[in-house]
Homo-oligomer: A and B are copies of this chain.
Amino acid sequence: MLFNKALILGIGLIGSSLARNLKEKELVDTLVVYDKNKENLAKAENLGFADIYTDSIKEGASDADLIIFATPVCAFGDLAKEVAQYVKKGAVISDVGSVKQYSLQEIEKYLNKDMGVIVVGGHPVAGTEKSGPENGFTSLFKGRWCILTPDDNSTPEAIKKLTKMWESCDMKVDTMETAHHDKVMAAVSHLPQLIAYSIVGTVADLEGYEHKEIIKYSAGGFRDFTRIAGSDPTMWRDIFLTNKQTVLELIQRFIEDLVALERNIRWDEGDKMFDLFKRTQKIRKDVIEAKQDQPEHEKRIMEELKKQQA
């Protein structure tokens, strides 16, 4: 056993998938899952992926030697404040937040080495556009990267244990400085997600178009954006608000480049467009070569979800 008593705060897609791993792979003795939403708790209990299901921080945090924050990031501060009342000395605190500077700042206001606890930020880079405990599954993390962002409140032992935990979930583990993490994620995740939300809104709102027609012909490309824009609204709202400066900078860069492309179209600069499209084709090849887009993996995810929901 890696931990005696573990508490997962929030049982959405990531929290519930982690819970499944901790039990199935026997990484913890007693697994407590907390959610303030009673409907989610009932679903979780029905699915049976933990030992204790509670909406009491006191019950969950007391005696826990591992506490993982897995709610939307804007809830971290209030939760940390409450956890601090019951946490035991030496407990390892981590999270799965997509924005690390904000998450750790909120957690470490109340939970830090002066309190006698150890904090190691974490971000398993995995997910689907589905949310809620019923959509989690064990192999969600398989083959993906988990980024740990240790700081002054971390210890080598805790980093080692968390590395082992995520590796047991079949993840590859990397460490990164928190600010650098947020910068990289703004580029590969936050900006693309924002653009997807934005374009789905634009196309849906166009006057002079029938909604039915847009949906009917969505296989022309639009539907790929609707898949991305079907993701959890609360989680993403929080990410954009808490990684604000970097996201705002990247939006400006994106608009600059889009306007250049607009100009290429207006002035018939086909060659310039062609050069860009050739470059993006090459980038696609790099992604495939780095095994970061594997139809096999997606297929397996779909099959697992189907099995589970049958």
Task: Enumerate chain B residues within 8 angstroms of A221, measured Cβ to Cβ.
Answer: 188-190, 192-193, 196, 228
A206-B253 in contact (CB<8A): yes
Kindly report which residue of chain B lies nearest to residue A144, judged by CB atoms. Answer: B219
Bound CA span A194–B204, Å? 17
Interface size class of A (residues with CB under 8 A): 35 or more
Copy number in this complex?
2
**A292 to chain B: which residues have CB within 8 Å?**
215-219, 223
Contact A188 B218 (CB under 8 A): yes
The answer to whether A284 and B227 touch across the interface, beta carbons within 8 angstroms, is yes
Question: A222 interface residue, CB < 8 Å from B?
Answer: yes
A238 CB contacts on chain B under 8 angstroms: 270
Are A218 and B293 in contact, CB atoms less than 8 angstroms apart? yes
The answer, among B220, B229, B258, for a CB contact under 8 Å with A255, is B258
Contacts of A190 in B (CB 8 A): 221
> What are 16 A-B contacts with C-beta separation under 8 Å?
A125-B219, A145-B219, A189-B222, A196-B280, A197-B280, A201-B257, A218-B287, A222-B287, A226-B283, A226-B284, A229-B281, A230-B285, A244-B265, A252-B262, A295-B302, A299-B299
